[in-house]
C-alpha cells in the first residue's frame, strides 16, 4: 500500500512538470500553472533570496519612514488633505493592536517636528536622498525578481522616483476622497434605501479598501521594475499580494493578541521587534506579488528545477552578432529602433541574456540608448566602421579586468601559437567584413 502511494505521488509529480507551457492549451493549462506557481514560490521562499531582500528593505524603511511621511505630508498639505496621513498610518499599523496607535502618534509627532525651513538646503537634500534610496532599493529588489541587472539611468531615476513620491500620495488620497464623496452622494443614498440594491452596494463598499490595496500593488508592479510589465501580469501579482497582505494582517493581529510573553521577555523593546516583523511580512508579500507577476508574464520559467541562465561563449558571440545585425538593419532601413522588450519577443529568449549582451555593446561604445522610456538602441558608430572581427574581440574579452585578464595567465609558447592561429584564422575568414556589408549582402552569398 505504501509503495503504491509513493508510486502514485511520483507519477503525479512527474505529470505536473511534463507538459511544455508554451504549447499547452485547454482546461489543463490554468490548474497546471497554478500548481507550478505554488511550488515555485515555495521554492523561492526556501531559497532565501527574497527573505534577505525583504530584511534589507526593513532596514531601509526604518531610516526613511519619517522622511517619506514628511515629504508626503508636505505635498498633501498643499491640497488640504494632510490630516488623512494619520488615519492611513493607523490602518497600516492596526495589526499591532493598541501599541500601533501609540507608535503612529509618535511617528506623526516626528513628522510634524520636521520643519523644512529649519533643515536648510543640505538637510532637505539628505531628506530627499533618504526617501529616494528606499525607492531605489525597491527597484533593485524588483529588478532581481525580473532578472534585470541594470537600474534606470540617473536622470530617468530621479524623475521617475520624484513622480512616485509627489504624485503617488495625491492619487491615493484622491481615490479615497472620491470614494467617500460618492458614498455620501444623495443619489447613492437613495439607491442604498432600495433593497436588495442597498445590501449589494454596501457589500461592494466594504470591498473598496481591498480593491484600492490591489490597485496600489498593481501600480507598483507596473512602474517600479526597470522593464516593461504587462497589465495582466501586474494585476495578477497585485491580486495575490492584496489577498496575502490582508490575510497576513489578520494573522499578525491574532498573533499580537497572544504575544503577552514577548512583552514580558522584551519589555519596552517588544513593540519595536513586532514592528520589524510586521514590516518584514509586508515587504515579503510585496516581493512575492512581484514574483507572481513575473511568472504570469513568463510562464516558461515555471520549471521543476531553477533555471541557471549561463551563456556559453558560442551563444554569447552568436547573440551579440544577431543583436547588432538587427539594430543595424533597422537603422540602415530607417525603421523604428528596437527596445530590449522587442528584442526579447523577436528572439524568443529571456530578458537576462539579452540584457547582458546589450550591456557589453553599450560599454564598448557600439550601441547607444535613446532617451525614451523604455530606451531603444541605435548604433553609436557608423556601421561602416564596425567590423565583425572587432565585434567578436569585444565579446570574447567581455568581463576581463586587471585582476583576471589574458595577460595574467602563463604565456606558454605553444599555447600562444595555437591561440594566435585561431585568432588569425577567424580574422582571415571574416575578411574585414563590416556590419553594413553583413546587412546588405545577398542571402545567397
Q: Do residues 377 and 339 touch, judged by C-beta distance below 8 A?
A: yes
The CATH number for 333's domain is 1.10.10.10
Last residue of a domain, one of 274, 301, 328: 301
Are residues 348 and 392 located together in one domain of the fold?
A: yes
User: Higher-confidence residue: 268 or 34?
Assistant: 34
Is the residue at 275 inside a domain? Answer: yes
pTM above 0.85, yes or no: no
DSSP per-residue string spanning 311-339: --HHHHHHHHHHHHHHHHHHHHTTPPPEE
Give how far Cα 115 sits from Cα of 22, 70, 111, 124, 126, Å. 56, 9, 9, 10, 14
Are residues 287 and 431 located together in one domain of the fold?
A: no
pLDDT at 443: 47
Is the residue at 14 inside a domain? Answer: no
For the chain, what is the largest distance between any 2 Cα atoms, rounded to a whole number of angstroms? 94
Confidence of residue 74 (pLDDT cuts 50, 70, 90): low
DSSP per-residue string spanning 282-307: HHHHHHHHHHHHHHHH-GGG--SS--
User: Higher-confidence residue: 111 or 337?
Assistant: 337
Is the residue at 371 inside a domain? Answer: yes
b vs e for 54-65, b when ≥16 Cβ sit within 10 Å of the residue's Cβ?
Answer: beebbebbeebb
Domain that holds residue 258: 47-155+210-301
Is the residue at 379 inside a domain? Answer: yes
Q: Do residues 135 and 63 touch, judged by C-beta distance below 8 A?
A: no
Is the residue at 308 inside a domain? Answer: no
User: Higher-confidence residue: 380 or 201?
Assistant: 380
Are residues 243 and 344 located together in one domain of the fold?
A: no
- Among the residue ranges 7-16, 42-51, 64-73, the one predicted with the least confidence is 7-16
**DSSP letter at 402?**
S
Are residues 267 and 408 located together in one domain of the fold?
A: no
Are residues 375 and 328 located together in one domain of the fold?
A: yes
Is the residue at 39 inside a domain? Answer: no
Quick: pLDDT tens for 179-222: 555 555 565 556 556 566 556 666 666 676 677 788 888 888 88
Are residues 231 and 128 located together in one domain of the fold?
A: yes
Are residues 242 and 124 located together in one domain of the fold?
A: yes
Last residue of a domain, one of 301, 333, 350: 301
Are residues 262 and 338 located together in one domain of the fold?
A: no
Quick: pLDDT tens for 225-245: 877 788 899 999 999 998 888
Are residues 227 and 335 located together in one domain of the fold?
A: no
pLDDT at 153: 65
Across 25-29, 113-117, 200-204, the highest mean pLDDT is recorded for 25-29
Are residues 72 and 119 located together in one domain of the fold?
A: yes
- Cα–Cα distance measured from residue 62 to residue 130, given in angstroms and rounded to the nearest whole number: 10
The residues, ordered by sequence, that sit 6+ positions from 198 with a Cβ below 8 Å of its Cβ are 191, 192
Quick: pLDDT tens for 388-425: 988 998 988 887 777 777 777 777 888 888 888 888 88
Are residues 385 and 270 located together in one domain of the fold?
A: no
Last residue of a domain, one of 234, 266, 301: 301
Is the residue at 28 inside a domain? Answer: no
Percent of the chain at pLDDT exceeding 70: 67
The number of C-alpha atoms within 13 Å of 144 and in the hemisphere containing its C-beta is 14
Is the residue at 428 inside a domain? Answer: yes
- What is the number of domains present in the chain? 2
Closest CA to 219 of 171, 179, 278: 171
Are residues 125 and 246 located together in one domain of the fold?
A: yes
Amino acid at each position: 500500500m505504501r509503495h503504491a502511494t509513493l508510486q502514485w505521488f511520483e507519477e503525479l509529480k512527474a505529470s505536473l512538470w511534463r507538459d511544455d507551457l508554451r504549447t499547452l492549451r485547454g482546461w489543463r493549462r490554468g490548474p497546471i500553472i497554478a500548481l507550478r506557481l505554488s511550488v515555485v514560490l515555495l521554492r523561492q521562499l526556501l531559497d532565501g533570496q527574497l527573505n534577505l531582500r525583504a530584511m534589507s528593505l526593513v532596514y531601509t524603511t526604518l531610516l526613511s519612514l519619517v522622511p517619506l511621511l514628511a515629504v508626503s505630508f508636505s505635498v498633501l498639505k498643499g491640497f488640504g488633505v494632510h490630516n488623512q496621513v494619520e488615519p492611513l498610518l493607523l490602518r497600516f499599523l492596526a495589526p499591532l493592536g493598541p501599541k500601533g496607535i501609540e507608535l503612529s502618534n509618535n511617528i506623526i509627532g516626528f513628522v510634524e517636528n520636521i520643519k523644512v525651513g529649519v533643515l536648510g538646503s543640505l538637510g532637505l537634500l539628505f531628506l530627499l536622498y533618504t526617501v529616494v534610496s528606499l525607492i531605489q532599493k525597491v527597484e533593485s529588489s524588483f529588478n532581481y525578481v525580473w532578472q534585470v541587472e541594470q537600474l534606470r539611468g540617473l536622470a530617468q531615476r530621479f524623475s521617475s522616483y520624484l513622480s512616485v513620491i509627489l504624485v503617488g500620495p495625491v492619487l491615493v488620497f484622491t481615490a479615497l476622497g472620491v470614494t467617500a464623496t460618492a458614498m455620501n452622494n444623495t443619489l447613492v443614498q437613495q439607491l442604498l434605501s432600495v433593497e436588495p440594491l442597498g445590501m449589494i452596494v454596501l457589500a461592494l463598499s466594504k470591498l473598496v479598501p481591498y480593491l484600492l490595496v490591489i490597485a496600489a500593488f498593481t501600480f507598483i508592479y507596473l512602474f517600479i521594475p526597470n522593464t516593461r510589465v504587462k497589465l495582466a501580469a501586474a494585476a495578477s501579482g497585485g491580486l495575490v499580494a492584496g489577498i496575502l497582505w490582508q490575510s497576513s494582517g489578520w494573522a499578525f493581529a491574532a498573533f499580537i493578541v497572544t504575544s503577552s510573553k514577548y512583552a514580558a521577555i522584551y519589555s519596552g523593546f517588544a513593540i519595536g521587534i513586532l514592528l520589524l516583523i510586521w514590516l518584514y511580512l509586508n515587504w515579503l508579500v510585496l516581493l512575492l506579488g512581484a514574483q507572481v507577476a513575473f511568472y504570469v508574464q513568463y510562464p516558461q520559467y515555471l520549471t521543476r528545477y531553477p533555471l541557471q541562465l549561463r551563456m556559453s561563449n558560442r551563444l554569447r558571440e552568436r547573440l551579440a552578432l544577431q543583436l547588432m545585425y538587427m539594430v543595424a538593419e533597422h537603422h540602415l532601413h530607417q525603421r523604428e529602433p528596437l527596445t530590449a522588450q522587442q528584442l526579447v519577443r523577436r528572439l524568443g529568449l529571456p530578458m537576462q541574456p539579452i540584457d547582458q549582451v546589450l550591456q557589453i555593446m553599450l560599454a564598448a561604445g557600439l550601441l547607444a540608448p535613446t532617451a525614451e522610456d523604455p530606451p531603444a538602441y541605435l548604433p553609436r558608430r557608423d556601421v561602416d566602421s564596425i567590423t565583425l572581427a572587432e565585434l567578436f574581440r569585444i565579446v570574447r574579452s567581455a568581463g576581463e579586468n586587471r585582476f583576471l585578464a589574458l595577460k595574467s595567465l602563463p604565456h606558454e609558447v605553444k599555447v600562444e601559437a595555437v591561440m594566435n592561429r585561431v585568432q588569425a584564422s577567424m580574422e582571415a575568414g571574416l575578411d574585414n567584413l563590416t556590419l553594413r556589408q553583413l546587412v546588405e549582402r545577398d542571402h545567397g552569398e
